[in-house]
Amino acid sequence: MSKDYRSLRDPNAEYTARDLSAESMGVTDPRGPRDVEITDVQTTMVDGNFPWTLVRVYTDAGVVGTGEAYWGAGVPELIERMTPFLLGENPLDVDRLYEHLVQKTSGEGSVEGVTVTAISGVETALHDLAGKLLGVPAYQLLGGKYRDEVRVYCDCHTEAGADPEACAAEADRVVEELGYDALKFDLDVPSGHEKDRANRHLRPGEIRHKADVVAAVTERVRDRADVAFDCHWSYAAGSAKRLAAAVEEYDVWWLEDPVPPEILAVQEEVTKSTTTPVAAGENRYRVTEHRRLIEDGAVDIVAPDLPKVGGMRETRKIADVANQYYVPVAMHNVASPVGTMASAQVAAAVPNALAVEFHSYELGWWDDLVEETVIEDGSVTVPEEPGLGVTLDLDAVAAHMVEGEELFDEA
């Protein structure tokens, strides 16, 4: 039985398949999606545990797409600078508009850095918008899904810093009370043995202390949870190799960012020196930089940050390259529910996704920002609603905006 695809070719044809009527999509304008034009782009910053930059793209069809850019100074200003390049464009041309913004902002440094971050927020909003206009979830725009649920790993902290027993107790609590089976702890916190942290050298006492943290946490949770440990680019190559060797006997999910990110040869040297899995990627931009990490064997696990790296399609491209080298993807994520759901949509659409990070378990109102439940029992159930599948609660946004920010316009 043939299907009627005229609505996808002819903007004047009536929608016949999958109930893509204007009314079903909430579109008051009866024209087809190929006639829709972008009319405005707005940002609002929310004062969470990071200053989240939410992005909305408006259209003349009354449909709005919502995205998120990684936090950082200058991102809203860059998005304002990009807005004229988007006005009048069709929001379904997501890839073309992404490349258009990269080209138009080359003078602002669109190869990497905060300009790519700003583009990421717009690109994510375009995926939400395109999904709503076409009546499909965002993962479908990326090729379909491999899984209905995406695993979440919880970034954990204690008031005692990196006290081994305090970390072990918190790991136990997060597993038993909050339902997570994947965790991460920071290792780059004071141990009491430091003499000069600026030189990136780890003294023997510091190595022993960090190994004690790893031992205490992994032995407490054992097979109930996987545990990663983050170093935040803090150590010299020799110290990083000594640390990785010292924790080889424990069940470390991965050791994250042990050395500064600039020199990939050093990252490769550290990774290849140890059997401890090493992850990196959150401070790399676009698929070109991640490709070098992957092809050179400089990571065992690649960790792009979607609202920072270039957006949803760029993260998908990174996962595709990683998959060619049998490298899994664990998405770094410090975002609001909007960016978190965008990461989950991509994780659903790629075969090699391990998990998506959650960095706000101590922030009681995190999930108030959207009307839907995003994380439950340590995972995200991938929604079937069009677009990202989350709806901003504008009252909650208004209650938590950064001082001086203005609330979004209504659709």
* Position 58 in a domain: yes
* pLDDT over threshold 50, residue 43: yes
Same-domain pairing of 103 and 166: no
Asked whether residue 161 is assigned to any structural domain, the reply reads yes
In a domain, 389, yes or no: no
Domain shared by 159 and 130, yes or no = no
**Tell me, what CATH number does 15's domain have?**
3.30.390.10
Three-class HEC string of the chain: CCCCCHHHHCCCCCCCCCCCCCCCCCCCCCCCHHHCCEEEEEEEEEECCCEEEEEEEEECCCCEEEEEECCCCCHHHHHHHHHHHHCCCCCCCHHHHHHHHHHHCHHHCCCCCHHHHHHHHHHHHHHHHHHHHHCCEHHHHCCCCCCCEEEEEEECCCCCCCCHHHHHHHHHHHHHHHCCCEEEEECCCCCCCCCCHHHCCCCHHHHHHHHHHHHHHHHHHHHHCEEEEECCCCCCHHHHHHHHHHCCCCCEEEEECCCCCCCHHHHHHHHHCCCCCEEECCCCCHHHHHHHHHHCCCCCEECCEHHHHCCHHHHHHHHHHHHHCCCCEEEECCCCHHHHHHHHHHHHHCCCEEEEEECCCCCCCHHHHECCCCCECCEEECCCCCECCCCECHHHHHHCECCCCCCCCCC
Quick check: is 396 in a domain? no
Q: Give the predicted TM-score (pTM) of the model.
A: 0.90
Mean of pLDDT over the chain = 92
For 102, the domain range is 6-136
pLDDT tens digit sequence for 374-389: 999 999 999 999 999 9
pLDDT tens digit sequence for 240-266? 999 999 999 999 999 999 999 999 999
Total domain count, the chain: 2
**pLDDT over 50 (residue 15):** no
Regarding whether 215 and 194 lie in a shared domain, the answer is yes
For residue 31, name the pLDDT band (cuts at 50, 70, 90): low
CATH number at residue 236: 3.20.20.120
The predicted pLDDT at position 109 comes to 82
Claim to verify: residue 129 and residue 196 sit in the same structural domain = no
Domain shared by 130 and 189, yes or no:
no
The residue with greater pLDDT, 159 or 22, is: 159
Is the domain of 160 the same as that of 39?
no
The pLDDT of residue 196: 85
199 shares a domain with 57: no
Indicate if 19 and 84 belong to the same structural domain.
Answer: yes
Same domain, 295 and 170: yes
Is the pLDDT at 323 greater than 70? The verdict is: yes
pLDDT at 6: 35
Q: Are residues 348 and 253 in the same domain?
A: yes
Same domain, 264 and 179: yes
On whether both 113 and 155 belong to a single domain, the answer is no
Please state the rounded mean pLDDT for residues 80-95.
Answer: 97
Does residue 114 lie in a domain region? Answer: yes
